Amino acid sequence: GDSVTQMEGPVTLSEEACLTINCTYTATGYPSLFWYVQYPGEGLQLLLKATKADDKGSNKGFEATYRKETTSFHLEKGSVQVSDSAVYFCALSSGGGNKLTFGTGTQLKVEL
Amino acid sequence: DTAVSQTPKYLVTQMGNDKSIKCEQNLGHDTMYWYKQDSKKFLKIMFSYNNKELIINETVPNRFSPKSPDKAHLNLHINSLELGDSAVYFCASSQGNPDSGNTIYFGEGSWLTVV
């Protein structure tokens, strides 16, 4: 079945540091890939997505590239801010399953 | 305007009670979902409805019964609540299947605590 593996958190960074959150996946068929963000006490918001190999999704300074050869979709940001503190979820959907399969989430804490 | 709204946001109830969570989306989407987030933040699909028809029931106990009176609403009724039902329940919707890259939009969550 489909699965998503994310690096374990929490990740603690200083403001303006570089961020990478690793995400790899196993899927039947050709999945669409997503990153969602959950701020404290809130629901999930789509951060970015990609639907085919080598596509790069980007939003709010975050980027992720769909790498079919390594089955990965790592999230990156060049300079994090305190306001980026949240839980980040990698997710996929494939094979007509009509659902998202989520990774376990990675908590990011950015300090001044 | 809230796209996916669910009520109540917080619910504290005793074991054995029956409770409902309501969900409405004003996006005109044809597919609605219920997800459960446990205390470790893990998210898992419970149900998916497409145009009021159940298409996913992910081995959820029979005590959980979704009801979709129309494609803009998907309510969740839970009978005989147990301590293990304590979680955050998220309603969501999409236009089309996410495996084609369609975005799933989530509500703000309903925090259920069973005591």
Q: What would the mean pLDDT of A68-81 be, rounded to a whole number? A: 97
Q: Which residues of B touch A95 (CB under 8 A)?
A: 99
Residue A9: the pLDDT is 86
Query: Is the separation of the CB atoms in A6 and A21 below 8 Å?
Result: yes
Q: What is the pLDDT of residues B8-21, one digit of tens each?
A: 999 999 999 999 99
Q: Does B9 touch chain A (CB under 8 A)?
A: no
Tokens of A42: 């809130």
Instruction: Determine the average pLDDT of the residues in A35-52.
Output: 94
Q: Which residues of A touch B90 (CB under 8 A)?
A: 43-44
- Other CB atoms within a 10 A radius of the CB of residue B80 amount to 12
DSSP string spanning B27-82?
A: S--SEEEEEEE-TT--EEEEEEEETTEEEEE-S--TTEEEEEEETTEEEEEE-S--
Question: Could you give the CA distance from residue A105 to residue A87 in angstroms, rounded to a whole number?
Answer: 6
DSSP string, A76-112: EESS--GGG-EEEEEEEE-TT--S-EE---EEEEEE-
Residue A4 contacts B where some CB pair is shorter than 8 Å: no
Statement: residue A41 has pLDDT above 90: no
CB distance A100–B103 less than 8 Å?
Answer: no
pLDDT tens track for B72-112: 999 999 999 999 999 999 999 999 888 888 899 999 999 99
% chain A with pLDDT above 70 = 100
Of A89, A95, A107, the CB nearest to B99: A95
Distance (Å, rounded) from C-alpha A102 to C-alpha B38?
13
| pLDDT tens-digit map of B29-81 | 999 999 999 999 999 999 999 988 999 888 789 999 999 999 999 999 999 99
